[in-house]
A and B are shown apart, each in its own frame.
Chain A
Amino acid sequence: MNGRQEASETQPRGSRLWRGLRHPFTRRVLTYLVSIIVLLALWQLTSGVVHAIKGRALLPGPFQAFSELIRSIAEIQHHFWVSAGRLVLAMLIALGLGYPLGLLVGHERRLDQFVSPMIYITYPIPQVAFILFLFLVFGIGNAVKVAIVAVALFFQLLVSARGAAKNISQEYITSVLSAGATRRQVYWHVLLPATLPDILTSLRVSVGLGMAFLYIAETSAALGSGLGRFVKGSMYRPALASAGIVAMAALGLLLYLLIDVLERLACRWKYTQQRPR
């Protein structure tokens, strides 16, 4: 009996549990779980090391953070939804403005010649520098917090969309033009679907950037709500602040997963079985 036969006889091949574990979705969930467990272990380790070096519990461990999170769930939940609303709205505004403009600039050569220098000049400016002006224009309410994040993400998405539009194979454009496409149809049938995967990747990157800017925006105002405000307000209660940071991580993870689902639905062609050449 050879090795392969032995392996097939000992493996519970037909069992439902085995097949369930091998399912791509289950494997994905398991991978996430393992990552989270490793992360929590590293956090606990860091907390322990800081405690040992400083002789004081400066960095709360995950157990304390989660205990505080459960205890203050009602308050944190309120701040969570406020921040989530601002971040999602800002992402939608940035996407709605940056994506079409990026496609136009990337595809229309004359427009690119005119607009690109403006992008090159403004993109490297740290968007934090605009905060003062945004406060002057939008006041200190919700609008300014959304605007700060939207401005930061707008440039990111504009540059990504422009690059993605420039990289589209001319073959696709010739293909639809020869089939009788109008200029608008070229955008709808080629530019939009061809660049969507790149834009969704950029949107994923934007989640992290957006969270950072949201924190700055929420902590720049003296009053108000949101996770940034909550974390800053809990400065002298590290366990509570850690609970706020955990909520921020949860918000980021939620948005990442949402974008993943969106990509699976909108870019179905990317997930088909590639035929070997």
Chain B
Amino acid sequence: MIEVANVSIRYGRGIDAVDAVEDVSFRVENGGSLAFIGPSGCGKTTLLFGIAGLLAPIEGEILVDGTPVTGTRREIALILQNAGLLPWKTVWQNANLSLMLRHEYPQRTAETVLRDLRLLDVRGRFPAELSEGMKRRVGIARALSMSPSVMLMDEPLASLDTLTRERIQDLFLTLWKEHRFSLVLVTHDIEEAAFLGETIAVLSERPAQIKEIVDNPGMGDVDYRTTAAFRETLGRLREVLER
């Protein structure tokens, strides 16, 4: 479970200090999913990095499974905007990065994950040789290789074409249902938020504050995009964003 209580995060010091997140509180149950949506540069990524243990809040507390987050943790996986792949490492090395950095061998989990994501055949290739969709799948493989209980995603499908984006959204949904990790997604795409978020938190301009939390009980099915409930959620999100 993720519990964020009255968290504020500030960048820099003195006159250069920027308040990125202010007094944000929310909770994601085990196996739940929460999508953050808000204007560009509002502090969404900062908030996510706070949960990942990459940034320390100046106020408030972040707990994952009841323990305060004071640094990166094995059970918290983060998928970055462009998958965060290292160009000088092969698909296999990138997928195994978290395990390798923690000196965890053998890496059978990564092999299974690569097979499931249909990447085993390209394990010897470098990221530059892959399509954008494949790169994102390698990023997912890296995150899944640690069998995390919390999956954080920072605009993981930005700059992908519509069809690839929807295909990978379907994959995220399947994996989320299969692995039952708690999912926190940051996106500026309303449809992505509505498709993957059980609840959707709409953030204000910087410093990020939660304007409203929209429930999205209908999500969880690949066909959800074609339903009236999906369109209704989209309308509701637009309304809150424009307010």
> Which residues of A are at the interface with B, using a C-beta cutoff of 8 A?
171-172, 174-182, 185, 189-190, 193-194, 267-269, 272-275, 277
Within 8 A of A (CB), among B72-99: 72, 74, 77-78, 80-82, 84-89, 97-98
In contact, B84 and A174 (Cβ under 8 angstroms): yes
| 22 A-B interface contacts by CB (under 8 A) | A171-B81, A171-B84, A174-B54, A174-B84, A175-B84, A175-B85, A175-B97, A176-B86, A176-B97, A178-B54, A178-B77, A178-B78, A180-B72, A182-B101, A189-B97, A193-B88, A194-B88, A268-B126, A269-B87, A272-B126, A273-B128, A275-B130
Q: Quick one: given A171-B84, A175-B85, are A181 and B101 in contact (CB under 8 Å)?
A: yes
Q: Quick one: given A175-B80, A179-B142, A180-B72, are A275 and B86 in contact (CB under 8 Å)?
A: no
In contact, A177 and B128 (Cβ under 8 angstroms): no
| Most central of A177, A179, A181 by chain B CB within 10 Å | A179
In contact, B52 and A272 (Cβ under 8 angstroms): no
The yes or no answer to B102 lying at the interface (CB within 8 A) is yes
- A-chain residues with CB within 8 Å of residue B77 when the two chains form the complex: 178
Question: How near does chain A come to B74, taking the closest CB pair, in angstroms?
Answer: 7
In contact, B101 and A180 (Cβ under 8 angstroms): yes
Question: How near does chain B come to A186, taking the closest CB pair, in angstroms?
Answer: 10
The yes or no answer to B231 lying at the interface (CB within 8 A) is no
The yes or no answer to B212 lying at the interface (CB within 8 A) is no
- A-chain residues with CB within 8 Å of residue B84 when the two chains form the complex: 171-172, 174-175, 178
Question: How near does chain B come to A181, taking the closest CB pair, in angstroms?
Answer: 5
Chain B minimum-CB-distance residue to A274: B128
Q: Quick one: given A177-B72, A185-B101, are A272 and B86 in contact (CB under 8 Å)?
A: no
- Measured in the bound complex, the distance between the Cα atoms of B101 and A267 in whole Å is 21
- A-chain residues with CB within 8 Å of residue B162 when the two chains form the complex: none
Question: How near does chain A come to B131, taking the closest CB pair, in angstroms?
Answer: 6
- Measured in the bound complex, the distance between the Cα atoms of B89 and A172 in whole Å is 12
- Measured in the bound complex, the distance between the Cα atoms of B132 and A273 in whole Å is 15
The yes or no answer to B179 lying at the interface (CB within 8 A) is no
In contact, B125 and A180 (Cβ under 8 angstroms): no
B interface residues, how many (CB within 8 angstroms): 28
The yes or no answer to B129 lying at the interface (CB within 8 A) is yes
Partner of A275, one of B89, B101, B131: B131
Within 8 A of A (CB), among B131-157: 131-132, 142
In contact, B87 and A179 (Cβ under 8 angstroms): no
Q: Quick one: given A269-B128, A272-B125, are A180 and B82 in contact (CB under 8 Å)?
A: no
- Measured in the bound complex, the distance between the Cα atoms of B130 and A268 in whole Å is 15
- B-chain residues with CB within 8 Å of residue A182 when the two chains form the complex: 101
Question: How near does chain A come to B12, taking the closest CB pair, in angstroms?
Answer: 12
Q: Quick one: given A171-B84, A174-B84, are A273 and B129 in contact (CB under 8 Å)?
A: yes
In contact, B129 and A275 (Cβ under 8 angstroms): yes
Question: How near does chain A come to B133, taking the closest CB pair, in angstroms?
Answer: 11
- B-chain residues with CB within 8 Å of residue A190 when the two chains form the complex: 86
In contact, A179 and B128 (Cβ under 8 angstroms): no
- Measured in the bound complex, the distance between the Cα atoms of B87 and A185 in whole Å is 16
- A-chain residues with CB within 8 Å of residue B78 when the two chains form the complex: 178
In contact, B74 and A180 (Cβ under 8 angstroms): yes
In contact, B54 and A177 (Cβ under 8 angstroms): yes
In contact, A269 and B98 (Cβ under 8 angstroms): no
Chain B minimum-CB-distance residue to A181: B101
Chain B minimum-CB-distance residue to A267: B88
Chain A minimum-CB-distance residue to B93: A189
**In the complex, per-residue mask of B92-132: 1 if CB is within 8 Å of any chain A CB, else 0:** 00000110011000000000000000000000011011111
In contact, A193 and B54 (Cβ under 8 angstroms): no
Which 10 pairs from chain A and chain B are nearest by CB?
Answer: A175-B84, A178-B78, A179-B98, A193-B88, A269-B126, A269-B88, A272-B126, A180-B101, A181-B101, A179-B97
Known: A171-B82, A178-B52, A180-B102. 9 other contacts (CB 8 A): A171-B80, A171-B84, A176-B86, A178-B80, A179-B98, A180-B101, A189-B97, A193-B89, A275-B130
- A-chain residues with CB within 8 Å of residue B132 when the two chains form the complex: 277
- A-chain residues with CB within 8 Å of residue B87 when the two chains form the complex: 269
- A-chain residues with CB within 8 Å of residue B52 when the two chains form the complex: 178
- Measured in the bound complex, the distance between the Cα atoms of B96 and A176 in whole Å is 11
- B-chain residues with CB within 8 Å of residue A176 when the two chains form the complex: 86, 97, 101
- B-chain residues with CB within 8 Å of residue A277 when the two chains form the complex: 132
In contact, B81 and A189 (Cβ under 8 angstroms): no
- A-chain residues with CB within 8 Å of residue B54 when the two chains form the complex: 174, 177-178
In contact, B86 and A193 (Cβ under 8 angstroms): yes
- B-chain residues with CB within 8 Å of residue A194 when the two chains form the complex: 88
In contact, A189 and B86 (Cβ under 8 angstroms): yes
- Measured in the bound complex, the distance between the Cα atoms of B85 and A277 in whole Å is 17
**In the complex, per-residue mask of B41-67: 1 if CB is within 8 Å of any chain A CB, else 0:** 000000001001010000000000000
